Structure 1
Amino acid sequence: MGYEEFKIEGRHPVMEAFRSGRTIDKLFVLDGCEDGPVKSIIRAAKKQDTYIRFVKKERLDQLSETHQHQGVIAMAAAYSYSTVEDILAIAREKNEEPFIFLLDGIEDPHNLGAIIRTANLAGAHGVIIPKHRAVGLTGVVAKTSAGALNYTPVAKVANLGQTIDQLKKEGLWFVCGHMGGDMMYRLNLKGPIGLVVGNEGEGVSRLVREKCDYIASIPMKGDIDSLNASVAAGILAYEIVRQRMK
């Protein structure tokens, strides 16, 4: 199932990676490169819904380890992704109400790994991450998850807001952790639930926040104003666990 994330450089190796069905998180292409092989690679990337970035030669040279990138570098995922449907199916198989983590733009791989680890231990059925402005399943994420990636499915979606709308039709409701919400201990967090956790800097984006049914805040007594994203996710997740156990 798992393999280390690594850079694949050069036209032939990158094309082979797409052909073999490898999960490619990002493709970097030399801006303005229009020849046949590169066009074929871009077509393959679009088919797999890979995030494509057109960059200047200096950027590719910086990224390159082989110095023979021929205008293309692909970042392969360390693990393959599941689908939202797979996650719901796991809840059904276990005869449990769905409990899903949704992460809004987590960019730090250590945070993502730690959150996947927490999701596994809290009994969540899966984790959903967005395709853009967020880290994918890199080797560092796999390592930090301490093996949880072997058991907890991670789905990658193009639009978190649309995914929330879809899941609402499946009967889920959503709580997001954000400053200035209702005290988490006062909320009823039972039933089929999606826990939305925001990124390290801005928290949950406004568009996603507006789709949530509850805004939960964690009581803060100290002198600094915020918790690390993975710690916040753990605190909120275990309040959900506590309420589900009753």
Structure 2
Amino acid sequence: MRYEEFTIEGRNAVMEAFRSGKTIDRLFVLDGCQDGPVKSIIREAKKTDCIISFVKKERLDQMSETEKHQGVIAYAAAYEYAEVEDILNAAREKEEPPFIVLLDSIEDPHNLGAIIRTAHQAGAHGVIIPKRRAAGLTATVARTSAGALNYIPVAKVTNLAVTIEELKEKGLWFVCADMDGELMYKLNLTGPIGLVIGSEGEGVGRLVKEKCDFTAKIPMFGKVDSLNASVAMGVMAYEIVRQRMK
């Protein structure tokens, strides 16, 4: 299976990508460059949810694959993002209570790809990722998902905490993985549910955790601090599957 290239370099190419409506995750611009073409690109970027980063020439040179970046490099999504409503519709079409995986600050694309793969296999209806401090749908994510990205919608939102509040109004409740939580086997994880997973280092952020209805911990007996984020997600997801199948 071939995946769409996600690095776009050069002023004309980047401008055309924005004008064509392509989903651009992030724009890198040479710090201090303010000529007409670059200003036009920045204006186009500000019309979207694209993150704009001003960086040194050395950083652009390291990122460049063509050595012809002309002071601008854009990262485009390897796949188009879905809307949160698309995920809810997927649950309705299957006549199942929604099961959504929400990721807080998962920056490793291999972890994201593995989570998408497991989410699909566990019957989740979709994955939600934040706009900032998170990996996007790059070609690495697509490859690591082993094709699952073709079958499960992934939505990107500006604010996870706000999205959780909106989904609560639609009947979902939320559990986040946290070592200070209740043992996951003691919780009722049935019904319309959102499973929130944080990064290995920081876990789920405070504001997002406060929006969750419950926190659940995975029993661990080793001497290391935590599981890999994708493994933790898989363990929690399949406890949800087990309870749903009872």
Q: TM-score range by the shorter chain?
A: over 0.9
Q: Could you give the per-residue CA deviations for residues 54-98 of structure 1, whole angstroms, max 9, x where no partner exists?
A: 112222122122222111110111111001011111111111111
Tell me whether 145-154 or 54-63 shows the greater mean CA deviation: 54-63
Name the amino acid aligned to 2:214. Answer: Y
**1:18 correspondence with 2:18:** yes
2:200, 2:226 within 8 Å by CA — same for their partners in 1? no
What are the within-5 Å matches in structure 2 for residues 134-153 of structure 1? 134-153=134-153
Moved over 4 A (4+): none
Give 3-state SS (helix, strand or coil) of 1:163's partner.
Answer: helix
Give 3-state SS (helix, strand or coil) of 1:210's partner.
Answer: helix
**1:196 correspondence with 2:211:** no
**1:169 correspondence with 2:175:** no
Normalised to the residue count of structure 2, the TM-score between the two structures is: 0.96
1:100, 1:194 within 8 Å by CA — same for their partners in 2? yes
2:68 corresponds in structure 1 to 68
Consecutive unaligned residues of structure 2, counting only runs of 5 or more, are none
Name the amino acid aligned to 1:230. Answer: S
1:40 corresponds in structure 2 to 40
**Offset of residue 2 of structure 1:** 7.4
2: CA distance, partners of 1:86 / 1:6: 23
Tell me whether 47-56 or 126-135 shows the greater mean CA deviation: 47-56
2: CA distance, partners of 1:2 / 1:33: 35
1: CA distance, partners of 2:46 / 2:89: 27
Name the amino acid aligned to 1:221. Answer: F
2: CA distance, partners of 1:46 / 1:92: 34
2:99 corresponds in structure 1 to 99
1:104, 1:205 within 8 Å by CA — same for their partners in 2? yes
**Offset of residue 224 of structure 1:** 1.7
Normalised to the residue count of structure 1, the TM-score between the two structures is: 0.96
Tell me whether 50-59 or 169-178 shows the greater mean CA deviation: 50-59
1:83, 1:155 within 8 Å by CA — same for their partners in 2? yes
Q: Could you give the per-residue CA deviations for residues 208-232 of structure 1, whole angstroms, max 9, x where no partner exists?
A: 1111100000001122221111110
1:31 corresponds in structure 2 to 31
1:220 corresponds in structure 2 to 220
Q: Could you give the per-residue CA deviations for residues 22-81 of structure 1, whole angstroms, max 9, x where no partner exists?
A: 211110011222222212211221222111111122221221222221111101111110
2: CA distance, partners of 1:225 / 1:57: 38
Over the residues paired in the alignment, what is the CA RMSD in angstroms? 1.4
1:157 corresponds in structure 2 to 157
Name the amino acid aligned to 2:169. Answer: K
